[in-house]
Amino acid sequence: MRITDGWNRYWYGPVPAVRLAAFRQAILFMLAIYMLARWMYAAEWLTEAGFHPSRVADRVNTPKLPLLPPALLQVFGLGLLASIVFALVGWLRRPATIVALLLVVYVTFVDPVSAFTLNHLFILSLLVLALAPAPSSDGTMPAWLVRVLQLTLLVHYASSGICKSLRGDWLISHDVLWAQLQNVYMTDAAALFVRLTPTWAMTLLQHAALGFELLAPLLIGVRRLRPFGLAIGVAMHVMIAVTMHLLFYFSAQMLCFYLLFLDAESLRRWHVRLGLRHM
């Protein structure tokens, strides 16, 4: 009975609604920025102007939904942006979130070649936000909404670390990070970093990143270790954003999930300072 009660409290007990509210505002803002920055390539994703493998050549990456006529491209973009903005500011929040979810799902399935981790994390986030009820009078909501998103972050880190350990060369080579920073991801900051950083330090950072991913369920999941784990994660994502071309969006998206682990009182104070509503 004690185990059952603990399980029920973890998944269904009340938690501060401000955590999901902060996550909603951050992830929707990030989605709007990502869409605006990448919209110049929208014709390549959604119309016949881009490359889309045929079903005969590639059953996995062929479009799963019909492509858009070019005349509807801008209408689609305005609809997606408007739904994100409406959900962000609270106008018809649930319908707007559902519309944004459906349009992001369409983008993801019409161009699987370009739809990577960001798209799928946006879909999961929007789905949870669309299902979220209004907070109760005491400012709480059922825990499972927050738990699903928290576990998504921890599983993402752990699975990434396991994949690197079992299939990659992160454990058998000392220069994986050094090589990656000089590949297609290289930025001006990465060039300076590679030039000034000794190889042993690059190796140390490589194994520190791998260790963090493998231990993230403990470092972030355990409350006493959480400040230490979140600090390491922020430092890692800042480095990724600065030194790896276009991975700023990935780092910013992942840091949105960090809000779900922060102290509720601190989030409330920031909401007041920024003039934002909790839900």
Mean pLDDT, consecutive 10-residue segments, the chain of 279 residues?
Answer: 85 92 95 92 91 89 92 95 94 95 95 85 96 90 95 96 90 88 87 91 94 96 95 96 91 96 87 63
- Which of 54, 39, 48, 52 is closest to 70 using CA atoms? 48
Q: Supply 126's token pair.
A: 């929007």
Q: What is the pLDDT of residue 279?
A: 44
Domain boundaries defined on the chain: 1-142
Do the beta carbons of residue 242 and residue 186 sit within 8 Å?
Answer: no
Q: What is the pLDDT of residue 125?
A: 96
Q: What is the pLDDT of residue 172?
A: 87
Q: What is the pLDDT of residue 277?
A: 56
Q: What is the pLDDT of residue 113?
A: 85
Can you tell me the distance from the alpha carbon of 170 to that of 176, in angstroms, rounded to the nearest whole number? 6
Question: pTM value?
Answer: 0.91
In three-state secondary structure terms, 16 is: strand
What 8-state DSSP symbol labels residue 69? P
**Angle, helices 117-131/248-258, rounded to nearest 10 degrees:** 30
- Which of 53, 3, 24 is closest to 277 using CA atoms? 24
Q: Which residues pair with 14 in a beta bridge?
A: 142
Contacts of 252 (CB under 8 A, 6+ apart): 30, 33, 237, 241
